[in-house]
């Protein structure tokens, strides 16, 4: 399983709140293009974000399910995209100070053709995408923190 990380100048509770805002999912997850619905109990275990993936008009509709959650430290997801399969994604948050949080993201194919790919090939394909996703998430977290403090 590949793992990458980024540090944000945001308290862990604020970072977790942004991470678990289901309506923001397509703003930071590379490939997700539209959120159709978020289950009311999100991010409880078993709840889902119903999303579209890909450019319009070629979008595919699927969902991402919460597999485990420990507020404000971790969120584990299974993201589906049939017929391509699904991936397990683990996001961990570590407090590195009063207003500083480290976010680590790990991903691995768990169903479909991707499972047959060696870990090195999965890493080669997923690392650039996940780095961009984490950078987008960090920008959202930092932007929300700036807005909340009145900074512009």
Distance of alpha carbon 76 from the chain centroid: 9
Distance CA 62, CA 87 (A): 13
What value does the mean pLDDT take over residues 124-135? 92
* Residue at 36 is within a domain: yes
Q: Band of the pLDDT at 117, cuts 50, 70, 90?
A: confident
* Residue at 152 is within a domain: no
* Residue at 122 is within a domain: yes
**E runs forming strands in 9-47:** 32-38
pTM: 0.89
* Residue at 126 is within a domain: yes
Cis peptide before 83 (omega within 30 of 0): yes
pLDDT tens-digit readout, 35-94:
999 999 999 999 999 999 888 888 889 999 999 999 999 999 999 976 778 999 999 999
CATH number at residue 55: 3.30.530.20
Tally of structural domains, the chain: 1
* Residue at 91 is within a domain: yes
Residue 131: give the domain boundaries. 2-147
pLDDT at 66: 98
pLDDT at 152: 37
Instruction: Pull the structure tokens for residue 125.
Output: 């394909």
């Amino acid at each position: 399983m590949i793992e990458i990380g980024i540090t944000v100048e945001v308290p862990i509770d604020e970072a977790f709140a942004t991470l678990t805002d289901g309506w923001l999912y397509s703003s930071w997850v590379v490939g997700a293009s539209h959120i159709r619905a978020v289950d009311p109990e999100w991010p409880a275990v078993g709840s889902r974000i119903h999303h579209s993936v890909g450019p319009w008009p070629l979008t595919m509709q699927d969902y991402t399910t919460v597999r485990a959650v420990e507020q404000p430290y971790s969120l584990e997801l299974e993201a589906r995209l049939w017929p391509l399969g699904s991936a397990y994604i683990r996001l961990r948050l570590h407090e590195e100070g009063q207003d500083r949080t480290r976010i680590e993201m790990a991903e691995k194919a768990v169903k479909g053709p991707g499972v047959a790919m060696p870990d090195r090939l999965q890493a080669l394909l997923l690392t650039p995408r996940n780095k961009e996703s984490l950078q987008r998430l960090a920008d959202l977290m930092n932007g929300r923190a700036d807005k909340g403090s009145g900074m512009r």
